[in-house]
């Protein structure tokens, strides 16, 4: 056994090997990178990489059907009652389809044929009567128009359903379909039945947010349509509402009233459209060595564990997002903390958790809170007109070398001190890109090990992968000191260690925090989509831990059944921790800041689903 409180203590210190110029040659920092130990398989023996298709259309394409054909098929069947079975039957009963597949040089045509024939047999036995009324069979193809598979170019809009003149009908259709597929799939993944999901979309419209759809399903259940599993518990909690909430919380346009101070409480009962106000200063419920601002809180009854859970995301999300997140996570008030109060870099984040907030303690040694304390050697070239003493948020990408050059030119061709206009230009860029002064008139971005240090990770934690990847992974991570401060209350509660379910693990900020707190992890089940991140976590784990680590790639594949299996195997989880993707919420995303319904950020609903599944599985223990 290892002494959990004292190993690897050099991770606390950041030591400069030289003047910072030296870039040590990359040595493999991890052991057993590719050695897939027995613990990389779960108890069912499933491999880690398996992932279900994300949509019906995609699914068939993955199965080897040409996309155009899939689209056409779905169109013919009708897009309101898409059913995997119908579609397979449709394809089976179209000999031209089979012919085309077999002639198309598909790499696995025989296997495909076998699959189709299998389904065909099933279809003959069971389902013909089932769909004979819907006109979903090839007849409908033929009496519609002369559907010629051989000359089909995939751009056939002759069915007249699409009045779209610009011949992008298929694209629109595809987009619409996959959007609907995704929503249905998300709802099904959350434990709803497919017909419930379909009904909700019909009621609320294609554009309804997922949260609205969920509400709609619950409302319909509460109205007595049906009861469905343990989720019906929520029908009686007032804030979930037994009534329809067919509005987008994100669309609240009400002028909001500001207030200062974190101590004030506000009803989160959804009876108003007031967005979630951010505290100023953003210090959370309390800070180390600052008992003055400490507050007490009372958790809603349904929020109380087990398990404890800890959720994180960006504080400055689009309007209404945090109200929605909070509503799903048992109406717990978020704790908004800017990590600039604990380290030298800002990081405004919201945390929703059901941990006690009394008797927290920080990691020691306390991290430096200013740039000069963290990196003394930058003082030498720091101009007096740069007033920064802390860094802005550490992001996922770094500035270009061209920018350093432009700034150098601008400064070289002006006096000392430079005119205000030049100062403003330089300061704007420095603040935007977190640049530091490394020479005369010379600024540069931080290095990966500096970011590791600021975020509270051991040095070289992300070493061994590309520099770009390191910045990306670190930029997406926790600030360890901040999270550890919140998790510190677990130490006395679990002297024998904890079992952790870690979602969206990334490079393992939560795990590092627990380790640095001296909390033993008996078992960690980690879900992380990024292969690089899984490797980083595995490397760190093998170096520092003796417990069991199970890595899973896709959160969607962590079904309620598998969760129940893990709960039985480990005797329950003590902590469910994770921050769901922020890239559709973050302000720096120019292209797809789509809010909580964005492609990645919508995975929040899986966080909710999984916490709830753990809750109910542990309730049955």
Beta pairing class for 498-503 and 521-527: parallel
Minimum distance of DNA from residue 534's CB (angstroms): 15
**Comparison of 354 and 584: residue with beta carbon closer to DNA:** 584
Beta bridge partners of 439: 442
- 402 Cα distance to chain centroid: 32
Strand ranges inside 335-411, DSSP E: 335-338, 348-353
Q: Under rule CB under 7 A, how many of the chain's residues touch DNA?
A: 54
Can residue 264 be called a binding residue for DNA (CB under 7 A)?
no
CB contact at 8 A, 270 and 262 = no
Choose the binding region for DNA from 343-351, 378-386, 415-423, 544-552 (rule: CB under 7 A): 343-351
Can residue 313 be called a binding residue for DNA (CB under 7 A)?
yes
Among residues 410, 414, 406, 404, which one has the least CA distance to residue 436? Answer: 404
Virtual torsion, Cα 443, 21, 462, 449, nearest 10 deg: -60
Choose the binding region for DNA from 52-60, 64-72, 569-577, 579-587 (rule: CB under 7 A): 579-587
Residue of 581, 597, 603, 612 that binds DNA (CB under 7 A) = 581
**Comparison of 241 and 598: residue with beta carbon closer to DNA:** 598
| Distance (Å, whole) CA 152 – CA 512 | 56
Residue of 216, 221, 583, 616 that binds DNA (CB under 7 A) = 583
Residues in the chain: 621
Residue of 585, 611, 613, 618 that binds DNA (CB under 7 A) = 585
**Comparison of 566 and 605: residue with beta carbon closer to DNA:** 605
Can residue 253 be called a binding residue for DNA (CB under 7 A)?
no
**Comparison of 568 and 592: residue with beta carbon closer to DNA:** 592
Mark residues 425-454: x for contact with DNA by CB under 7 A, - for none: ---x--xx----------------------
Can residue 291 be called a binding residue for DNA (CB under 7 A)?
no
**Comparison of 270 and 464: residue with beta carbon closer to DNA:** 464
Can residue 280 be called a binding residue for DNA (CB under 7 A)?
yes
Residue of 291, 402, 420, 620 that binds DNA (CB under 7 A) = 402
Q: What share of the chain is helix, strand, coil (3-state, %, to 5)?
A: 45, 10, 45
Can residue 347 be called a binding residue for DNA (CB under 7 A)?
yes
Minimum distance of DNA from residue 457's CB (angstroms): 14
Q: Which two tokens stand for residue 299?
A: 């958790």
Minimum distance of DNA from residue 409's CB (angstroms): 13
Minimum distance of DNA from residue 456's CB (angstroms): 13
CB contact at 8 A, 316 and 587 = yes
| Distance (Å, whole) CA 311 – CA 340 | 19
The sheet that has 548-552: what strands, in order across it?
A: 335-338, 348-353, 308-314, 575-579, 498-503, 521-527, 548-552
Choose the binding region for DNA from 70-78, 184-192, 214-222, 391-399 (rule: CB under 7 A): 391-399
**Comparison of 161 and 467: residue with beta carbon closer to DNA:** 467
Q: Which two tokens stand for residue 480?
A: 């360890």
Choose the binding region for DNA from 363-371, 482-490, 518-526, 592-600 (rule: CB under 7 A): 592-600
CB contact at 8 A, 251 and 320 = yes
- CA distances 197 to 86, 216, 237, 564, Å, are 18, 9, 22, 24
CB contact at 8 A, 486 and 360 = yes
Supply angle C-alpha 216, 219, 220, rounded to 5. Answer: 85
Can residue 422 be called a binding residue for DNA (CB under 7 A)?
no
Q: Which two tokens stand for residue 287?
A: 């800070």
- Residues 467 to 496 in contact with DNA, rule: CB under 7 A: 467-469, 475-477
Choose the binding region for DNA from 14-22, 491-499, 561-569, 573-581 (rule: CB under 7 A): 573-581
Minimum distance of DNA from residue 40's CB (angstroms): 21
**Comparison of 178 and 392: residue with beta carbon closer to DNA:** 392
Q: Which two tokens stand for residue 109?
A: 């045509």
Minimum distance of DNA from residue 573's CB (angstroms): 20
Torsion sign across C-alpha atoms 384, 385, 389, 391:
negative
| Distance (Å, whole) CA 247 – CA 596 | 15
**Comparison of 240 and 351: residue with beta carbon closer to DNA:** 351
Cβ neighbours around 562 below 10 Å, total? 17
Can residue 587 be called a binding residue for DNA (CB under 7 A)?
yes
Report CA Rg, the chain.
Answer: 27
Whether 582 is catalytic is: yes
Choose the binding region for DNA from 131-139, 216-224, 230-238, 346-354 (rule: CB under 7 A): 346-354
Residue 312 parent element (H or E): strand 308-314
Choose the binding region for DNA from 146-154, 162-170, 292-300, 590-598 (rule: CB under 7 A): 590-598
Can residue 319 be called a binding residue for DNA (CB under 7 A)?
yes
Can residue 580 be called a binding residue for DNA (CB under 7 A)?
yes
CB contact at 8 A, 573 and 499 = yes
| Distance (Å, whole) CA 45 – CA 541 | 21
CB contact at 8 A, 528 and 48 = no
- Residues 526 to 545 in contact with DNA, rule: CB under 7 A: none
The residue annotated as part of the active site, out of 92, 136, 204, 582, is: 582
Can residue 423 be called a binding residue for DNA (CB under 7 A)?
no
**Comparison of 286 and 584: residue with beta carbon closer to DNA:** 584
Residue of 140, 395, 543, 557 that binds DNA (CB under 7 A) = 395
- Residues 359 to 388 in contact with DNA, rule: CB under 7 A: none
| Distance (Å, whole) CA 56 – CA 37 | 34
Cβ neighbours around 30 below 10 Å, total? 18
Interface ranges with DNA (CB under 7 A): 258, 275, 277-278, 280, 312-316, 318-319, 346-349, 392-393, 395-398, 400-403, 424, 428, 431-432, 466-469, 475-477, 504, 579-593, 600
Which residues are known catalytic residues?
582
């Amino acid at each position: 056994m290892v002494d959990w409180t004292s190993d690897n203590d050099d991770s606390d210190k950041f030591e400069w090997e030289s003047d910072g110029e030296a870039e040590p040659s990359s040595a493999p920092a991890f052991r057993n990178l590719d050695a897939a130990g027995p613990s990389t398989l779960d108890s069912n023996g499933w491999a880690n990489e398996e992932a279900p298709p994300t949509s019906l259309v995609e699914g068939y394409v993955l199965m080897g059907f040409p996309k155009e054909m899939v689209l056409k098929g779905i169109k013919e069947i009708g897009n309101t009652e898409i059913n995997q079975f119908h579609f397979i039957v449709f394809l089976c009963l179209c000999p031209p389809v089979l012919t085309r597949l077999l002639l198309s040089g598909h790499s696995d045509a025989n296997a495909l044929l076998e699959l189709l024939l299998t389904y065909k047999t099933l279809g003959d036995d069971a389902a013909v009567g089932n769909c004979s009324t819907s006109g979903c069979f090839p007849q409908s193809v033929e009496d519609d128009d002369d559907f010629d598979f051989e000359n089909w170019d995939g751009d056939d809009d002759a069915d007249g359903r699409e009045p779209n003149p610009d011949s992008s009908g298929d694209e629109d259709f595809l987009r619409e379909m996959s959007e609907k597929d995704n929503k249905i799939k998300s709802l099904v993944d959350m434990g709803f039945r497919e017909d419930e999901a379909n009904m909700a979309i019909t009621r609320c419209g294609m554009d309804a947010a997922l949260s609205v759809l969920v509400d709609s399903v619950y409302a319909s259940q509460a109205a007595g349509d049906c009861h469905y599993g343990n989720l019906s518990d929520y029908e009686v909690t007032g804030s979930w509402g037994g009534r329809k909430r067919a509005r987008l919380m994100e669309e609240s346009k009400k002028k909001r009233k500001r207030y200062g101070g974190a101590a004030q409480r506000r009803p989160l009962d959804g009876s108003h459209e007031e967005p979630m106000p951010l505290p100023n200063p953003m210090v959370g419920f309390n800070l180390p060595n600052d008992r003055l601002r400490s507050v007490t809180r009372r958790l809603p009854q349904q929020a109380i564990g087990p398990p404890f859970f800890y959720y994180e995301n960006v504080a400055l999300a689009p309007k209404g997002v945090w109200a929605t997140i909070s509503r799903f996570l048992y109406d717990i008030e978020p704790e908004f903390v800017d990590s600039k109060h604990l380290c030298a870099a800002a990081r405004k984040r919201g945390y929703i958790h059901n941990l006690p907030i009394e008797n927290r303690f920080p990691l020691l040694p306390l991290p430096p809170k200013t740039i000069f304390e963290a990196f003394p050697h930058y003082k030498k070239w720091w101009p007096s007109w740069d007033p920064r003493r802390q860094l802005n948020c550490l992001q996922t990408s770094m500035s270009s070398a061209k920018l350093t050059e432009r700034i150098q030119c601008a400064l070289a061709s002006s006096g000392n001190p430079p005119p205000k206009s030049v100062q403003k230009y330089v300061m704007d860029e420095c603040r935007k890109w977190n640049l530091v002064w490394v020479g005369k008139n010379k600024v540069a971005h931080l290095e990966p090990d500096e970011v590791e240090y600021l975020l509270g990770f051991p040095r070289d934690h992300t070493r061994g992968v590309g520099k770009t990847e390191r910045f990306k992974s670190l930029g997406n991570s926790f600030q360890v000191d901040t999270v550890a401060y919140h998790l510190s209350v677990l130490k006395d509660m679990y002297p024998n260690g904890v079992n952790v379910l870690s979602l969206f693990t990334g490079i393992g900020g939560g795990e590092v925090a627990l380790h640095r707190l001296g909390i033993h992890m008996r078992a960690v089940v980690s879900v992380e989509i990024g292969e690089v991140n899984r490797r980083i976590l595995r490397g760190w784990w093998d170096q520092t831990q003796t417990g069991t680590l199970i890595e899973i790639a896709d959160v969607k594949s962590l079904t309620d059944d598998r969760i129940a299996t893990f709960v039985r195997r480990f005797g329950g989880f003590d902590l469910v921790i994770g921050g769901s993707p922020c890239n559709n919420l973050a302000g720096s995303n120019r292209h797809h800041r789509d809010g909580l319904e964005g492609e990645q950020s919508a995975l929040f609903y899986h966080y909710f689903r999984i916490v709830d599944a753990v809750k109910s599985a542990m309730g049955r223990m």
